[in-house]
Structures are given as structure tokens and as C-alpha cells.
Chain A
Amino acid sequence: MTGPVESVAFRIQGLKISYGGATVLHGLDLDIPRNQVTVILGPSGSGKTTLLRTLNRLDEDRQGFKRHGCVLFDGEDLFDPDQDVNRLRERIGLVFQKPIMFPASIESNVLFGVRHLGTSPRSEWPEIVHRMLSRVALFDEVKDRLGDSALHLSQGQQQRLSIARALAIDPEVLLLDEPTASLDPRSAGIIGDLIQGLTPEKTVILVTHRVSQAEGLGQFLALVERGRLVESGPASQVLDNPADPVTRRFLSPGGGGA
């Protein structure tokens, strides 16, 4: 069941994804609104991460990967052979569940994409580092050790740094794969505030299995279970008046959405 969306960032039509014969997504249809926080909610193993990685086209080189169906991004076919996949990935940033730090300084990690993609002149790099770290509320914590290894930061700090690195190349869309799954409540709260601050400038798609996170952050919500879309619509509508019995069961206490 899908509610109408006014301005669509992604139009997913009959998306089926399988790896080596195991089907993960079974013909998903979903419109994802532009410049809102969309929460993809569902239990573990429901295909949420696969959906997110597909939007970044990250898995298509994996052995056994097969895709059917279509995804339109800004009206253009995401999988069109003429699409520049690297340019697409620049526009659609992805932050992983577990923060990935390169064994380099904090500053180098923020500038990783900027430096290698050449998105900004070198003279602007210090300002970018300052702006991005401030945006993820990390600058004050690390301003005296920007040259130190990022590997020595806490998990929560590393995740904020991951988001800063993704934002530094100014993507139009930010895909977040359970970014607070392994974080303490304080760090999770900081990232929650950060996500809310990203709209309406950017389209944010957040994958989570926690209903509380969907309630706090989501403007639009899609519930996915066993690779199928159960229900989608404005978050308040889906959370307060779920139309589908599966959604009602998932949202109920002990129903799977921790």
C-alpha cells in the first residue's frame, strides 16, 4: 500500500534483487519524496540494506548480483547503461552501519572524497574541514588533534566523521544504513539531531529496525518485510493509523520494532 508523494526523488518500480539465486527484494514499488527524511523500517534481514546499497549502485559488481525492475532518480533511469555510475554515487552518498575510517588523520578522512574527486580547490579545504566537523558537532571535540589518526576516535565520533566525509562532497541524497545501531544514546542523539538538520536541503533515506527512531526522525515511512513493501506514507499517518495488519503487528510492543 503506497500513499501519494508530491515531489519524488526516487521512483522504485518492481525492483527485484537477488544474489546467486537467493532473492532479497521481491518486486518493490515505492516513491521516495524529495528533501524529506524517509525511514525504511523493517526487521533484520528484510532487505532494507540491499535497497539502500542498490540506490548507490554499490552491489552490482558483486558475483551473482541480479536486478530486475527500474529505479528513477530525478526522472532518470538509475541503471541506464549511459549513466556515469561514479557521478551518481557522488550525488547519492552512503553512510554504512559500521563506521569505516581510513588509517589516516581526522582531517584526511573528512577530505577523502573532496581530495580524490577534486570537488573543491585546495585553498578551501581547511574551511570545509571546519564546516563539516561543526555540522556533525565534532569540531570542538577534535579541533586540537585534526592531524591525529581517525582510528583512535570513539565509535560515535567515527560515525559522525563518516557523515562529515559523505557531506563534504555535497551529495543531493544521503543514504544512512542504521547509523546509530552500535552507538551509545548520547552519540545516537547527536546523529539524530544532525539528520533532522539535513532537510529540507537534502533528501535523506534512513534504514532502521527501531520504531522509536522512525517516530523521532521520519517524515515519510516505508515498512519493508521479507523483501516486500508492506506499507508507506507520511510517517505520522503510518505510525498512528497503520492500514496493514503486518504494520500493526510490527509496531505493536514486542512486534519486532525495538
Chain B
Amino acid sequence: MTPRRICDRAFLAACLAGQFFSMTLLLGILAIVVAKGIGVIDWTFLTSPPAGGGRSGGIGPAILGTLLLVVTTGILAAPLALGLALVRTEYFQPGRVRSFFELVLYTINGVPSILFGLFGYEVIVNRMGLGKSWLAGGLVLAVMILPTIAVSIHEQIEALPPSYRDQARALGLNRAKVIWSVVLPQTLPGILTGTLLGLGRASGETAPIMMTAAVFTGVHVPTGIRDNPVLALPYHLFVLAQDSHDPASISNAWGTALVLLGMAFLLTLASLPFRVGWRREEEAR
């Protein structure tokens, strides 16, 4: 066997080992969460409020609260992220301003999520006067996942063949019409995919909402905007995990984890048709 062939084989083996390791890890986590949590889940657990400090009762209000936070985050973050991506791809020429803009975006993406919580507590909860509320939590989560969605949308827009824009411009369409008629329709699946993946991340975040939106008990459905906190699955799980020595608490924690995992999985699954459709169109081009 030639040295070149040995290198080739060794590289392939390293790739396969990496793939095997990551898949095993993922399947291992899934298997443990499902095995430990499935026994807890029933209709009562999914619909009733927590009781006895989370040791009994269910997670109904926490599911509702998480959904409310995710929907609010999506409504706030998606248009902003789209705007950011369009400004970056369609209006900024490559240069210092664009580079600085990208640096800011990537830096925000790397900020620890607890800092977003602190920022939200100081600015949104206190200074803006929203108090601890679902809207404050949605705003903080939206700011946090903004770069994730914007970068994802940006990549989709950059992947659009330049010839499409050239063709539209050559026909006399102005920049806004090129965006409306070519860029948005062609990148819509990517925009939706990026948004759903970003929301998947937001749905599992604890730190940003613990100071801005989430409480552990005493709330069912918010009735207003200001000072209207919610129960949320990640925060519920966080509190239960602190009592991990208690079998009842840890059992409910596994059940909560499985529901949270299912929610993130559904968001990823929802993006699948768009991604498949996108790939088919890419192949047809």
C-alpha cells in the first residue's frame, strides 16, 4: 500500500470515528432522556400546574409559557434578522463598514447567555419598565438569537446565484424590487429554516429568562404585558435539578427534559420540509 493510500485510509477512518462518536453521543443523550422521562409523562403531567415545589403536579403552564416565549421571540427576531441580513448582503459593499458590522454580529453570537439575562434585567425589566414579563423574556431571547438567525439567512442569501440578481437588474428592476421579487422568494425556505433553528435554541435557554420572564410557580396564563411572568420549561427544569437528591423532583425533571427535547425536535422537524424543498430547487438549478 502506497503512503498516499495509507493517508487516504487514515483520513477516512478519522472521519468515520468522529461521525460515530458524535452520533453515539447524541443517541446516548436521547436514549437516557427518553428512558428516564417517558414514565413520568401522561395527560395530567402535560396539562396540570406544578405542585409541592415541582415534586408533584405537572408542567402545563410551563409548556404554555415556553410556547409564548418562543412565538414572541420568533415574531420579534425574524423580521429584524432578515433586515440585518439584507442590509449586509444587498446594501453594504465589502469593506470596513461591512467587516465591522459582521464583527459586531459574530461577537454578539459569542456573548454568554447569562449576560443577556443581566442586560434584559437592567434595560428591559427596570429601565423600560416592563417588569418581569413574557414580553421582556421574548425581547431578550430575540436579541440573543438575532445573530444566529441573521447569519443563517445571510448564508442563504449569499448562496443565491448572482446571475439571478443580474437578470432582474438587467430588466430594470430597482434594488427593492430585486429583493422582493428574487432574493426573498428564493431564500424564503432558508429564512424559515434559520428562524426555526434559532427558536429551537431559544426554547432551551434558561439564563436569559430567569431574570426577565420566568418564575417557578403561582402563574398559569399571563393576563397582561407588564409584570406578567410565565412558567417556562428550561427554568422549571433548572429549579428541579437543584433538588436532584429528591427522587420525586429528579423524576419530574426527566419528564420535563423529555418534553423540552420534544419541543426542540418538533421545531427542527418543522424546518425539514423547507430544507428538502430548498435542496430540490438547488439541484434543479
Chain A residues with a Cβ under 8 A of chain B: 56, 58, 61, 63, 86-91, 93-94, 96, 98, 100, 102-103, 112-113, 115-117, 149, 151-152, 165-166, 169
Most buried by B among A58, A100, A165: A100
Report the Cα distance A94→B169, complex, angstroms: 10
B166 at the interface (CB under 8 A from A): yes
**By the criterion CB–CB under 8 Å, are A63 and B172 in contact?**
no
Contact across chains for A100 and B94 when beta carbons are under 8 A apart: no
B167–A100 contact, CB under 8 A? yes
Q: Is the CB of A100 within 8 A of B164?
A: yes
Closest residue of B by beta carbon distance from A162: B167
| A–B pairs, 20, beta carbons within 8 Å | A63-B93, A89-B169, A89-B172, A94-B170, A96-B170, A100-B166, A103-B284, A103-B285, A112-B171, A113-B173, A116-B171, A116-B177, A116-B180, A116-B181, A117-B171, A117-B177, A165-B171, A166-B171, A169-B171, A169-B172
Report the separation of the CA atoms of residues A94 and B170 in the bound assembly, to the nearest whole angstrom. 6
The answer to whether the Cβ of B107 comes within 8 Å of any Cβ in the partner chain is no
Q: Which residue of A lies closest to B172 (CB)?
A: A90
Chain B interface, >50% SS class: helix
| B182–A86 CB distance below 8 A | no
Contact A86:B173 (CB < 8 A) given known A100-B164, A116-B181: yes
* Cα of A147 to Cα of B168 in the assembled complex, Å: 21
Query: How extensive is the interface on chain B, given as a class?
Result: 20 to 34
Separation in Å of the A246 CB from the closest CB of chain B?
A: 31
Interface residue ranges, B against A (CB under 8 Å): 93-94, 161, 163-164, 166-174, 177, 180-182, 186, 281, 284-285
A93, chain B: closest CB distance, angstroms = 7
C-alpha spacing A166/B173, complex, angstroms: 12
Instruction: With A58-B169, A89-B170 given, name 12 new contacts (CB 8 A).
Output: A56-B170, A58-B166, A89-B169, A90-B171, A93-B170, A96-B167, A100-B161, A103-B284, A115-B181, A116-B173, A117-B171, A117-B173
Q: Could you tell me the distance between the alpha carbons of A112 and B177 in the complex, rounded to whole angstroms?
A: 11
Contacts of B186 in A (CB 8 A): 102-103
- When chains A and B are docked, how far (Å) is the Cα of A193 from the Cα of B166? 26
Contacts A63-B94, A112-B181: A117 and B172 contacting too (C-beta < 8 A)? yes
Considering the chains assembled together, what is the distance between the CA atoms of A63 and B170 in angstroms? 18
A64 to chain B, nearest CB (A): 10
Closest to B173 in A: A116
B281→A103 contact, CB < 8 A: yes
Complex-state Cα separation, A63 to B164, whole angstroms = 18
* CB-based nearest B residue for A58: B170
Q: How far is the CA of A90 from the CA of B171 in the complex (A)?
A: 5
Residues of chain B within 8 A (CB-CB) of A152 are 284
- Which residues of chain A are near B166, meaning CB under 8 Å? 58, 96, 100
Contacting residue for A102 out of B169, B177, B182, CB 8 A: B182
Residues from chain B with Cβ under 8 Å of A94 in the complex: 170
**Distance between Cα atoms of A67 and B168 in the complex (Å):** 23
Q: B171, A113: Cβ atoms under 8 Å?
A: yes
Sorted from nearest, which 5 A-B pairs have the closest CB atoms?
A90-B172, A89-B172, A113-B171, A94-B170, A100-B167
Minimum CB distance partner of B93 in chain A:
A63
Return chain B residues, CB-CB under 8 Å to A90. 171-172
Set of chain A residues within 8 Å of B93, measured between Cβ atoms: 61, 63
**Known A63-B93, A100-B164, A112-B181: A151·B169 in contact at CB below 8 Å:** no
Q: How far is the CB of A144 from chain B (nearest CB, A)?
A: 20
Q: Please measure, in the bound complex, the distance between the C-alpha atom of A149 and the C-alpha atom of B182, giving whole angstroms.
A: 16
| Complex-state Cα separation, A117 to B168, whole angstroms | 10
CA–CA, A58 and B93, complex, Å: 16
Within 8 Å by CB of A149, from B167, B180, B284, lies B284
Shortest Cβ gap from A135 to chain B (Å): 17
CB distance from A114 to the nearest CB of B (A): 9
CA distance A98 to B161 in the complex (A): 13
Residue on B nearest A94 in the bound complex, by CB: B170
